[in-house]
Structure 1
Amino acid sequence: MPQTRLGRNHRKQGFWHYFGRFLSWCFLVFGLLFVSGVGVFAYYAKSAPTVTTTKLQAGGSSALYTNDGKFLLSLGSDKRNYIRSDQIPQQLKDAVLSIEDKRFYNEPLGVDPIRIAGSLVANIKGHDISAGGSGITQQLIKLSVFSTDASQRNIRRKAQEAWLAMQITQKYSKEKILEYYINKPYMGYNNYGIGTASNYYYGKHINQLDLSQTAMLAGMLNAPTSYDPYLYPEATKNRRDTVLYAMYRNNKIDKQTMNRAMAEPINYGLRPRHTNNDHSQRRIIDDPYIKEVVNEAKAKGFDPYNSNLKITVNIDQKAQNELYELANSNKVPFTNEKMQVGATVVDPSNGHVVAIIGGRHLPKVALGYNRAVQTGRSTGSSIKPILDYAPAIEYKNWSTAEILYDTPYVYSGTNVQLYDWDNTYQGAMTMRYALEQSRNVPAVRTLQTVGLQKASKFAKQMGINIEKSQGLSVGIGANASTLQMAGAYGALANQGVYHVPHFISKIETPDGLEHLYDNAGERVMKTSTAYMITDMLKDVISKGSGTKAQIPRLYQAGKTGTVKYSDSELKKFPSYAGTPKDSWFVGYTKDYSIAVWTGYDNLRDGKISGNGENSAQLFYKSAMQYLMKDKVNSDWQKPDTVVAQKLVSGRAITNELYVKGHTPKPPKIPKKKKNDTRRIIMGRNQDNQNEQKTQSQQGTLQKHYIVRRDAYGNLHYYYYYTR
């Protein structure tokens, strides 16, 4: 028994010995982690930016600058209703603190350890150690000094936020910090701070609002776009009720008061949606551009309304003014006042969006509808160079003299017959002529030869997403915006190098970090492809479907596009027969690529008729004339990979282009042998009517094309039939 008791005591002593060593190691590891954490914190805190009263008091709006460093405008209202601490109702303070930071007054260091610890545990479980955990003081620091870019939410930023929060807590009273915070956040519709929002949404001073209205504004601090009472009343009501419940849990209101406030309709006392009085003429002109700047900044992870960003934009203000003038004056004829336009100007060399117009007679509403970026309208034939002919040259080395057939065509697997715009067929023709005259059947046959999948991938490289469900009909009309089309044609203008169209070239955050967005571009086609398409598109303007866009002595290329009404639409509006539903023109020089759409928002608004049928071409012409007036007028240089040869077809002589290594070899005309029973019928490819006559006379024949060079080096096309 004593030995057994001794053994037990020995085992107990061994357990406590190892447990003591384990605790020692735990304390050591904890100590090392603590010291390391303090060291990291001190290291990051040392590089924290400076906080000033001006930064804390200023609104969170971002400033826009042009590429030459000139101030353009500030996002948000210039007339901020700043409310001092003694003007802030206790009701508002209670609402904000209950939903945002209920321990605000009990945070001597400006940070909430309980909140941070809880957020840290929750976020580690979600594999994100950066988000959440910020009380009002840290949120104020974030809105005043740092970017709200999601990529910047890291340990470094959190450490600096906490350090600066501790600093301003020692410098400013709690009431002053709360004052700064209530006046800081973006509240929607170019409003900053709850004081400004109170006037915008209710037309009242903040101290005139009831509890329900106050709770709604306090709830919007978290996400003003998501809790927009005009657009999302149900979500806004749920958020307001969450604030009221938080106030009840925080003992700021009783249950009866909470229920009474929750029963109030969310639109009670709400003013109709409107614009701020400071929406100046400059803002109206630039509004489509500003909207896309905001969208692009958000897509990059920034919040331009709350981040105090310095955003450098690519706008040419004079060009922007000119587009606005063309859309809203009598310089360009439109069918009537309801006819609309959308246009985009891009610099092909870098992708900078120079100017953009979202419509005519734009309403005085900030960030309104922008028709230049709408993607639900068909491009008509303006897609042909990108989707049909460029891939044929790129992948199959076709020449501009490739023979195509404008003959009756039925889409595979259907009984739908394809017609050209004039409801006729013109037989065999070169690719140059088919593109110049915008013939539909040759374009679709070309797309079929290349393959829809391969052609779609080619177009996608230039930002054009093809809806394959349309089948081959997409070859004569894809859904795209003027922004996308101007960018895609910019690749043709830039010798096959594509730059994604962008509105922002640089974003500078308050802590001095710069984010640059210009790049070298991406080659999406061979120089030979770009040059050969450009050469054919010159003919579109000089003698094809785009002659209304002609500008004397200017080197330019372009393509028209018209969209027909569907049969169902014509049943509703039979008088629209024979008129285009949409009209496009996309053209370019070496310096600018311009895409223009014209049409109507709604079928009932009218039909394009009279001079309105030329509005797209004339809008382009006026814009390009203005833009090129001070530019060097230079032509594209033929690359070494392209060979030019004269082609004589009948009485016509054209200069055709071939990919080097793929020029035609003059074939010999087959001679009829003595015992050969085939009958050879010879002709020159100059008169389609004669060709059709020959076919009708001879019955079913197989047609063969050959090319022969004469003594002067000219090429002649011949054809012959075999029975």
Structure 2
Amino acid sequence: MNNEDYPSRRRDDDFQDDNNNGRSLTKRIIVWVLGALLLIIVALAALFFFWASSAPKISRNELASQSTTVIYDRNDKVISRLGAQKREYAKSNEIPDALKHAVVSIEDRRFYKNHGVDPMRIIGAATNNIFHRSDGTQGGSTLTQQLVKLSVFSTAASDRTFKRKAQEAWLAINVDRHFSKNEILEFYINKVYMGNGVYGMKTAAQYYYGKDLDELSLSQIATLAGIPQSPTYYNPAVKDTKAPTVRRNEVLDAMVRSKYISQADATKAKAQSVTQGLDDHHGNTSSNSVGVKEPVVDAYVKQVLAELEAKGYNPNTDGLHVHTNMDLGAQKKLYDEANNSVPFQSDDMQTGVAVTDPHNGQIIAMLGGRHTGKVVYGLNRATQTNRSTGSSAKPLMDYGPAIEYLHWPTFHSVSDDKFYWPGTNKVLHDWDNQTKGTMTMREALVQSRNVPAIRTLQKVGMKRATTFLNGLGIKQKKPFNLQNGIGLYISPLQVSAAYAAFANGGTYYKPYYISSLTTQDGKTITYSKDGHRAMTKGTAYMITDMLKGVIDDSQGTGNAAKLSGVNQAGKTGTTDYPSGKSQGGVMDSWMAGYTKNYSIAVWTGYDQPMSHSISTSYEKSAILLYKALMDYLDNENHASNWKRPDSVEAVRWHGHRELVLKDSKWALDFTAMDDDDDSSHSSSHSDSSSSSSLSASESSYFDKHSSSDASSSSSSQPADTNKPGPNTDSSTAGDNQAPTH
């Protein structure tokens, strides 16, 4: 072998070394990856057991009990239990095998083989989610896990965490170890929510079919077994039976796949209507009383359930203990007065009432209607938003913004003369079809004159009026218009919450029903006030001072609501029919009023106003209902009078006490009155002739500042509305707005 061969041998050795090094590196990478995976598995296992160690305890009683959401008033008295029907618990030997087979087939087909959790089921559910495919029959949780969830945890989105899922799995494993499959199935069948306030399949058999479980047909059994996945849509008592029919058929098909029934049996059962055998009398599911009649609290409870769902809870399955802000005494008083005491034109004449606490926005009481019969969770007229408030809008959209942005005093001059809606030949008439010339802002508000209110809104401008309304929680998709100055389409609850800002000195609090709730695992969540400043203290006080006159003044439109010794303020509102559609009465009648402790808004009218109108004799039903409720509330919690803030001065104007904002141009030429208490002056309002007989100094001062104010506000005014358009027509209102007062 010559020397030329050596380099070649060295290269072969190098290749061999390279191969060895490559295999060694690959082995090291594999070892590192396996080691990392092992560490991850150990870490996850440690985390799982750490979370599991803090899992809540679960007992037989909790598994066997039915998950009832209980609702309390502010004094911890039970006012409602969801599913108040008589509950029937079915022992395992009372449950037909066909029902057990149906439940297992549709909910957990490997129920008898798994140990509380099913890895294959979890992988299958994950795969279906990734590829967006599912037969609609099997999710990721086993039947045992569903039982644990119903017994211990809530369904709120905030509780859907990895920690909660780990605890759920741990508890399911332990339940499977300590209880037989028949016991677990028994617990589940008796616990699930079945729609329409019904819990448990034995009770559901009575409610839907008026039968015991062993009397049901295969079709009916399959129907019951399919309900728990979506009780609202899959129960057979719904109007559209397509969804429950499809679900029943899915259960039957699942039973065939599991070999519990034959295809012929399934086909025969599918041929039956899903409504066959339904019992309108609901068998023997008599109501369990909680000491409070359902109609008394119906509207309030309906809104509580809606608020729970908005927070991510399922009140039908979560077994919550919900503490509300309801004053049950006030709620009963409101219901009794509306249904039994206050005169209404007929049983069909309706009302919607909301009471809020000005200190925090808590909803104290609510009535959605009167003489509603056995309707549960029906139309809640306290929260509907499609009826005009009439003149109750004037403090909110016209005079409140005038004080807030233009700094008007209560004696500011306003004109009550002939007015045409801008750009039309339509005349705005007042409730008495008269004009009264020049008057003060106080007089115009107390007497509820329409033309001065609209002229005030013109000077304020729509942009500033909208900002003021938005601050009071009043918003709408379409822009507000001039006609809204004498009629906002908002609910009694919105009115009550907005007026509460006047009552408390200018802070708007978002109204709320729930003070706290406790979930099945013992977690308590507390809810508190949510507010922001909507106006200055001066604006709130000056509006309140004027609105006292609506009730206390002999010419005030709310004089019938006057109560001796009660420090209150308020505003009425009615809406007349548009021109040519008169029904011989009014469409709507409102009374909104408040003390420092309560704000009440009452609407009365007919659901079909074009078929029925409120006659003159019953326009005051709203005022009388307000008065009865405020009398009760103030006796329970008497409110002191309002104290004038430092930003407001009381001045002498034409021999009467009026109010101005300090340091405004309106205050410069006047001497403040010694008015620390205000209580002796609350009803000292100028009479209707005061504007026409001013002293010389007052007249010259007023003329000077009135003209300058008009000039400064001219940019927000439309064209001269005293000039009619072509073909003058003395119509009673604009195209969409009826005259109000």
Query: C-alpha separation between the residues in 2 aligned to 1:23 and 1:64?
Result: 59
Aligned residue type for 1:152: D
Aligned residue type for 1:606: H
Q: Which residue of 250, 261, 278 maps to 2:258?
A: 250
In structure 2, the partner of 1:459 is 469
Report the more deviating stretch, 367-376 or 441-450: 441-450
Report the more deviating stretch, 447-456 or 304-313: 447-456
The size of the alignment, in residue pairs, is 673
In structure 1, the partner of 2:487 is 477
In structure 1, the partner of 2:31 is 24
Structure 1: state its 5+ residue gaps: 669-684, 692-704
Cα 1:7/1:473, change in 2 over 3 Å: farther
In structure 1, the partner of 2:164 is 157
Residues 625-655 of structure 1, C-alpha deviation per residue, up to 9 Å, x if partnerless?
111113334101000011111211xxxx432
In structure 1, the partner of 2:720 is none
Aligned residue type for 1:607: S
How much does 1:211 deviate? Answer: 2.5
Residues 48-107 of structure 1, C-alpha deviation per residue, up to 9 Å, x if partnerless?
111011111111111223333344442222511211111112222222222211111111
Report the more deviating stretch, 440-449 or 584-593: 440-449
Residues 670-707 of structure 1, C-alpha deviation per residue, up to 9 Å, x if partnerless?
xxxxxxxxxxxxxxx9979999xxxxxxxxxxxxx998
2:665 touches 2:705 (CA, 8 Å); kept in 1? no
Aligned residue type for 1:258: A
In structure 1, the partner of 2:109 is 102
2:428 aligned with 1:418, yes or no?
yes
Query: C-alpha separation between the residues in 2 aligned to 1:663 and 1:488?
Result: 29
How much does 1:613 deviate? Answer: 1.2
Report the more deviating stretch, 270-279 or 14-23: 270-279
Q: CA RMSD in A?
A: 3.1
Cα 1:667/1:58, change in 2 over 3 Å: closer
Aligned residue type for 2:578: S
1:489 touches 1:593 (CA, 8 Å); kept in 2? yes
Query: C-alpha separation between the residues in 1 aligned to 2:139 and 2:495?
Result: 42
Matches within 5 A, 1:200-349: 200-228=207-235, 229-272=237-280, 277-278=286-287, 280=289, 282-329=293-340, 331-349=341-359
Cα 1:44/1:596, change in 2 over 3 Å: same
In structure 2, the partner of 1:387 is 397
In structure 2, the partner of 1:654 is 656
Aligned residue type for 1:398: W
Cα 1:646/1:103, change in 2 over 3 Å: same
Cα 1:347/1:216, change in 2 over 3 Å: same
Report the more deviating stretch, 285-294 or 467-476: 467-476
1:463 touches 1:500 (CA, 8 Å); kept in 2? yes
Q: TM-score normalised to the size of structure 2?
A: 0.84
Query: C-alpha separation between the residues in 2 aligned to 1:6 and 1:302?
Result: 72
Cα 1:98/1:494, change in 2 over 3 Å: same
In structure 2, the partner of 1:80 is 87
2:648 touches 2:660 (CA, 8 Å); kept in 1? yes
Query: C-alpha separation between the residues in 1 aligned to 2:364 and 2:307?
Result: 15
In structure 2, the partner of 1:607 is 613
Query: C-alpha separation between the residues in 2 aligned to 1:8 and 1:244?
Result: 68
Q: Which residue of 167, 179, 202 maps to 1:172?
A: 179
Q: Classify the secondary structure of the residue corresponding to 1:321.
A: helix
Query: C-alpha separation between the residues in 2 aligned to 1:89 and 1:461?
Result: 60
How much does 1:665 deviate? Answer: 6.2
Q: Classify the secondary structure of the residue corresponding to 2:122.
A: helix
2:629 aligned with 1:623, yes or no?
yes
Residues 404-461 of structure 1, C-alpha deviation per residue, up to 9 Å, x if partnerless?
2233333344444433222333333222122111122222233333333432333233
Matches within 5 A, 1:478-493: 478-493=488-503
1:309 touches 1:509 (CA, 8 Å); kept in 2? yes
1:468 touches 1:474 (CA, 8 Å); kept in 2? no
In structure 2, the partner of 1:194 is 201
Query: C-alpha separation between the residues in 2 aligned to 1:666 and 1:523?
Result: 28
2:364 aligned with 1:354, yes or no?
yes
Query: C-alpha separation between the residues in 1 aligned to 2:404 and 2:706?
Result: 29
Cα 1:656/1:125, change in 2 over 3 Å: farther
Cα 1:415/1:206, change in 2 over 3 Å: farther
Cα 1:12/1:219, change in 2 over 3 Å: farther
In structure 1, the partner of 2:681 is none
In structure 1, the partner of 2:508 is 498
Cα 1:466/1:455, change in 2 over 3 Å: farther
Query: C-alpha separation between the residues in 1 aligned to 2:387 and 2:689?
Result: 38
How much does 1:664 deviate? Answer: 2.0
Query: C-alpha separation between the residues in 2 aligned to 1:284 and 1:393?
Result: 42
Query: C-alpha separation between the residues in 1 aligned to 2:208 and 2:446?
Result: 56
Cα 1:552/1:239, change in 2 over 3 Å: same
Structure 2: state its 5+ residue gaps: 1-7, 133-137, 671-686, 708-741
Cα 1:720/1:241, change in 2 over 3 Å: closer
How much does 1:178 deviate? Answer: 1.0
In structure 1, the partner of 2:566 is 554
Aligned residue type for 2:572: T
Q: TM-score normalised to the size of structure 1?
A: 0.86
How much does 1:489 deviate? Answer: 1.1
How much does 1:533 deviate? Answer: 0.9
How much does 1:719 deviate? Answer: 10
Query: C-alpha separation between the residues in 2 aligned to 1:402 and 1:122?
Result: 71
2:80 touches 2:301 (CA, 8 Å); kept in 1? no
1:279 touches 1:364 (CA, 8 Å); kept in 2? no
In structure 2, the partner of 1:675 is none
Query: C-alpha separation between the residues in 1 aligned to 2:265 and 2:368?
Result: 48
Residues 292-348 of structure 1, C-alpha deviation per residue, up to 9 Å, x if partnerless?
21111111111122112111111111111111110111x211111211111112121
How much does 1:718 deviate? Answer: 8.3
Cα 1:463/1:234, change in 2 over 3 Å: farther
Q: Relative contact order: is structure 1 or structure 2 higher (C-alpha 8 Å, sep ≥ 6)? A: 2
